[in-house]
Amino acid sequence: MTEGLNDSTVSPTETIEELTFYVEGKPAPQGSKRHVGNGIMIEASDYLPAWRKKVVAAAVEALAGRLGFVHKEAVHCSLEVFLPRGKTVKRELPTVPPDLDKLERAVNDALTIAGVWGDDAQVTNSNNSKRYAVELASPGVRITVRRAA
């Protein structure tokens, strides 16, 4: 499920002020590595490639053929990450892995691949959270990117 700026009357060259959409799926972190031998390190999360692919597809759909934020333009990116809650988990908030910064890294790199921005170095402000998905929210991430004020 995605929602975004998908007005069919929008020109592909129109400047985007804000882009908001939701990506359903189990969020996967990026950044932890494991050694597999011969000096080779790979991402610890086996779910990362599929998660990144979902985020890229949703971002491309939300862009609706328009150009993303201009390279070197400062942007604000907000992520609300909703993790699946295990049946026996009693804690209110997910104070266990995956780390929020590693979840952010996976999403930001996917947004770069999708062309939402030229590079995630453009993010000058972020407001991110992680919590458990409840009845009203399925696991995934709500992404909002807007021009920095």
CATH value at residue 26: 3.30.1330.70
pLDDT score recorded for residue 91 = 93
Q: What is the pLDDT of residue 13?
A: 58
User: Tell me, what DSSP letter sits at residue 85?
Assistant: P
Identify the three-state secondary structure at position 103.
Answer: helix
How many percent of the chain have pLDDT more than 70?
Answer: 85
Q: Interhelix angle for 100-114 vs 48-63, to 10°?
A: 50
The H helix count followed by the E strand count for the chain is: 2, 6
The tally of CA atoms less than 13 A away on the side-chain side of residue 133 is 18
Residue 2 lies inside a defined structural domain of this protein: no
Whether residue 128 is contained in a domain is answered as: yes
**Tokens 């921005």 found at:** 117
Residue 134: give the domain boundaries.
18-147
pLDDT at 136 over 90: no
Which residue from 53, 110, 57, 49 is spatially nearest to 79, judged by alpha carbons? 110
**What are the tens digits of pLDDT across the range 66-121?**
889 988 899 999 999 999 998 899 999 999 999 999 999 999 999 999 999 999 99
Strands 40-43 and 33-37: antiparallel
Is 99 contained in some domain?
A: yes
Neighbour-count burial of 71, counting CB atoms closer than 10 A to its CB (0-12 exposed, 13-18 middle, 19+ buried): exposed
Q: Is residue 51 part of a domain?
A: yes
> What confidence score (pLDDT) does residue 88 get?
92
Position 140 in a domain: yes
Enter the DSSP assignment of 70.
P
In the sheet where 140-147 sits, what is the strand order? 18-24, 140-147, 75-83, 123-132
Write down the pLDDT at residue 31: 80
Q: What is the pLDDT of residues 2-15, one digit of tens each?
A: 444 444 444 555 66
Burial of 61 (0-12, 13-18, 19+ CB in 10 A): middle
**Residue 32 belongs to a domain:** yes
**How many domains would you assign to the chain?**
1
pTM for this predicted structure: 0.84
Q: Is residue 8 part of a domain?
A: no
Confidence of residue 39 (pLDDT cuts 50, 70, 90): confident
